Structure 1
Amino acid sequence: MYFVYMFICLQDKIIDRAAIIESQHVNRVVEACKGRTIFITGGTGFMGKVLVEKLLRTCIGIKRIYLLVRLKKGKQPDERLREMFKGVLFEKVKKLNGPDIVKKVVVIPGDVSLPNLGISSENRKILAEEVELVYHCAATIRFDETLKKAVLLNTRGTKYMLELAKEMKDLLVFVYVSTAYCHLNERVLYEKSYPPPANPHYIIKAVEWMDEEIVTSITDKLLGNCPNTYAFTKALAESLVDEQMDKLPVIIVRPSIVIPIWKEPVPGWTDNINGPTGLLIGAGKGIIRSMYCNSKGYADYLPVDVAVNGIIITSWDYIGFKKRRYYNLTSSGEIKVSWQQVIELGRRIVETKMPLNGVVWYPGGSMKKSKIMHLICVALFHYLPAAVIDFFICLSGNKPVLWRIQKRISKGFEVFEYYANNQWDFNNDDSLKARHLMNEKEKEDFKVDGKGLDLDEYFTHCVHATRLYILNEPDDTLPSARRHMLMMWGLDRLCKFILLLGLGYVTFYFIIAPLLGITL
């Protein structure tokens, strides 16, 4: 009997070990999504598109994805969705899972900025009956947005979404996508709630009945120490979600600065020129020559595919374990990239590997610690060349463009300088705990760490994708772009030589010659 008992115990251990080994090859996130219905706002935005693509490609067992889409520029929601699926971002998922996979995505016409989200009573009932997971990504990310519009979209829109969530009978999790940069008075942001900069309910009521001109006139007073309407309204929205922690299965995720795709499905892909991409284009075209910035400082960047993986993993973590409610999706705890490194990497790539077409001057310039020196350089190297070039453009019978571009760049610098000359750090201990719960298969399918990141390769992909998908500069234009860059290099060196020669002559004529008693 003893040997029989030992044999049974040994057999149980073998079975347990086999089960453990097998579990390492099962993606529990994918399994948890099978048969689920998901509702996404902001699904036509940068991060939203990548989220939809990832769910369709990896979680193929999903029953349906409802997407809130508004009328935009005369285009109906269904038309906008069809155009979105024609993009290069969705080529891989259609190739892997078949072109009909996109039929799982169903449009819900509406607008987050409208009362009750602009959703019809029929569609509201459908969402209440069917939806189990909600990803609320919709927001205006313009830092210079008017306060009224930002409140109605970012804050009141979140309030309406929470009200809709209360009607959902089978809701498992409501994921609010916030930002790591919305509590800017905190030099270290922890994964917890923070008091809002104002009462969100009062602010919503105030902007609803005030005219936009009145709201704009008191914006600075309402913002207080908050530098822009984006951070202000996102912090207000967080507090609305915080209020529902005991009533709804809500979680808050805080991605940092979201940048182009790192790995999948299209390395380097982006659909906008916000943030670092805009700086990259401006510097690569030779338009940006000076930045007021602490070169040794760093920002927290997160490739959008890593951010989306994190958003999906955190929802799975809450559904399965219900231990965490706040997640900082940040990277600087593992990888710190200084502004100087960003500029040097970008410059080297656009100068040698991936030059942009039609550069107006050879990429150069530098970061300035002195605000006065920066303003002098902006006048000399931004506005003065823009005025000269625009003058010749006018002579050729075309409309001037560079002066207008420089004004837009200067406006963007106002936002950039605040973030570039201040430093924040982020604690993401709880997010790391969720990461440690993942098995090897899940870590492979939903990569949320920076292991294997090659910055040079990543930036090259970013510039290449920017050429292709933002600037519409195909690869067959690279040879001519390289020739043009070489010509600009020669012109840049020639102008610098002439300038130095002139400075040398003036110095000798007015300073050295009189001191030596030489008469010229």
Structure 2
Amino acid sequence: MTEADLNLEKYPDRIAQIFEGKTLLITGGTGFVGKVLVEKLLRSCSGLKKILLLIRTKKDKNPQERIREMMNLALFDLLKKTRGPDIVNKVEAIAGDVMLPDLGMSKEDRRRVADEVEMIFHCAATIRFDEPLKKAVLLNVRGTKLMLDLAKECKKLMLFCHLSTAYCHLYEKVLYEKIYPPPADPHNVIKTVEWMDEEIIDSITHKILGDIPNTYAFTKALGESLVADEMDTLPVIIQRPSIIIPVWKEPIPGWTDNINGPAGLLIGAGKGVIRTMYCNSDRYADYLPVDIGVNAMLVSAWDYLTYKERRIYNLTSSSQYKISWSDIIEIGREVINTRMPLNGVAWYPGGSMKRSKLYHNICFYLFHIIPAIIVDILLFLLGYKPVLMRVQKRITRGFEVFEYYANNQWDFVNDESLNARENLNPRERQTYKVDGDGINYHDYFTNCVHCARLYILNEPDDTIPAAKRHMIVMWWVDKLTKLLFTVGIIYLLWTKLFKPLLGYA
């Protein structure tokens, strides 16, 4: 242990102390944020008594099997190394489903939760922006109501943390840490979708949403309003993280279990299948590495329990650190092309962001659709299954969501979260880091791509040298193709246009 570590040991870890001997209930514990939250609690607040995860059966795997599978992820290796393999026994499954009436829980499990649980972290939600409205309401709105009903039964409840999103009130270009009116009455919306046929709901979704671009933002705003209504009766706080991206520092730099957000753009561009995007490159979005977000959740929970002053926390970063879309693309280009290339790239990564929708659409058909059709035809003729058009359809759906956020701008005021950070001692600031001091974006995105290679694309490290060689080959192929195309155009213009005009035989 270094002298600096010894100096930090002089300070108490008051955040770990609030979880000492406590039983927690977490929904969404098998999701991206949920996994990192469980790992952090077990590693830094290991004195807790028990973590109960509300989990449904999925793909013929029961809740207990899903927990065992989750604990075998690389994400939990550091935990088991530092706290011992038995630490995972503090996590138990409660069979249930947030989408079902009464949360799909047995009477025995519900009674146990009511008797034992002292803190609830409600993280379960659908984060699909194109989720059908009925499912989004049942999960994000009714599910939240059912969790609040369960919280009212908990005899020892100290805290109910509701994980919302900083992007749920999109009509507010500056989002403050306060309650905003919901876009509709959540109780009426719940009653409506419960009895109405899904096809009918789908047909009127656009009218119900109004100016709100997707069901995610709509239902998260409704869910947040239900929590706000209970502030006088329950110890609830609302936590609004911005766009959650892969781990920055711990336990594995760059770790993720999905390729949503900027990581997905880097992977798509790195494979050579994304070559144009409609985006105002000077604008920026608000990103939050998942480990920083989880730390902020724990800090805000401690802050509320200690001071009982603040109830809404914007867990955002852009008031301190801004990175534009163009910066992300330039950094990503360097990472993908030189530091951490991917296997089997379809073409040398390139392309650009377009501010003109028309120009983007032209480039999309020229460099996305037409090449995909040609390659799929060749694959079919060679006896392989066509895949690229299916990939491009997924990219198109992703673009429909991305373009709205990339061409608009929001700012977030996070004074309450900053005030909570100011109350931390040096040990807590290190253990529960909630700022971006010291971040190197080149190293961060290199780690993101590296982990995506390992854990998402299943591309082991021993394939990196071959990927670098292949990238050099694709660079030459790209340059040669462009040269031949340019020469061909010049030749056609000369023979078909200029030569006759100039009177050459």
* Structure 1 contact 306–448 (Cα < 8 Å) conserved: yes
After TM superposition, list the pairs within 5 Å mapping 1:183-332 onto structure 2. Answer: 183-332=169-318
Unaligned runs of 5+ in 2: 1-6
2:420 aligns with 434
User: TM-score, normalised on structure 2?
Assistant: 0.97
* Structure 2 contact 237–312 (Cα < 8 Å) conserved: yes
Partners of 1:514 and 1:74 in 2: how far apart?
72
The answer as to 2:83 corresponding to 1:65 is no
The answer as to 2:32 corresponding to 1:43 is no
2:121 aligns with 135
* Structure 1 contact 47–304 (Cα < 8 Å) conserved: yes
DSSP 3-state at the match of 1:251: strand
Q: 1:105 aligns with which of 69, 81, 91?
A: 91
* Structure 1 contact 24–440 (Cα < 8 Å) conserved: no
1:154 aligns with 140
DSSP 3-state at the match of 1:341: helix
The answer as to 2:466 corresponding to 1:480 is yes
Partners of 1:187 and 1:508 in 2: how far apart?
53
Q: Deviations over 1:76-99 (max 9, x none)?
A: 110000000001000000010110
Q: How far apart are 1:399 and its partner, in Å?
A: 1.0
Partners of 1:483 and 1:393 in 2: how far apart?
24
Letter in 1 for 2:39: E
Q: Deviations over 1:440-474 (max 9, x none)?
A: 00000000001010101101100100000000000
Letter in 1 for 2:21: G
| CA distance 1:512–1:57, shift in 2 (3 Å) | same
* Structure 1 contact 361–492 (Cα < 8 Å) conserved: yes
Letter in 2 for 1:310: A
Q: 1:91 aligns with which of 61, 74, 77?
A: 77
Partners of 2:421 and 2:188 in 1: how far apart?
38
User: Percent identity among equivalent residues?
Assistant: 62
Partners of 1:511 and 1:371 in 2: how far apart?
31
Q: How far apart are 1:47 and its partner, in Å?
A: 0.3
* Structure 1 contact 24–439 (Cα < 8 Å) conserved: no
Letter in 2 for 1:444: Q
DSSP 3-state at the match of 1:144: coil
Q: Deviations over 1:140-181 (max 9, x none)?
A: 000010000000000000000000001111111100000000
Moved over 4 A (4+): 21-24
2:20 aligns with 34
Q: How far apart are 1:24 and its partner, in Å?
A: 5.9
DSSP 3-state at the match of 2:257: coil
Partners of 2:352 and 2:306 in 1: how far apart?
50
Q: How far apart are 1:22 and its partner, in Å?
A: 8.7
Letter in 2 for 1:475: D
* Structure 2 contact 343–459 (Cα < 8 Å) conserved: yes
Q: How far apart are 1:124 and its partner, in Å?
A: 0.8
* Structure 2 contact 8–427 (Cα < 8 Å) conserved: no
Q: Deviations over 1:48-71 (max 9, x none)?
A: 000000000000100111100101
Partners of 1:22 and 1:163 in 2: how far apart?
41
Partners of 1:227 and 1:404 in 2: how far apart?
24
Unaligned runs of 5+ in 1: 1-20
Q: Deviations over 1:306-363 (max 9, x none)?
A: 0000001111100000110000000001111100111111111110111000000000
Letter in 1 for 2:122: H
The answer as to 2:172 corresponding to 1:174 is no
CA RMSD of aligned residues (A): 1.1
The answer as to 2:349 corresponding to 1:363 is yes
| CA distance 1:253–1:418, shift in 2 (3 Å) | same
| CA distance 1:76–1:22, shift in 2 (3 Å) | closer
After TM superposition, list the pairs within 5 Å mapping 1:496-507 onto structure 2. Answer: 496-507=482-493
Q: How far apart are 1:512 and its partner, in Å?
A: 3.9
1:416 aligns with 402
1:392 aligns with 378
Partners of 1:387 and 1:371 in 2: how far apart?
22
* Structure 2 contact 28–34 (Cα < 8 Å) conserved: yes
Count of matched residue positions in the alignment of Structure 1 and Structure 2: 499
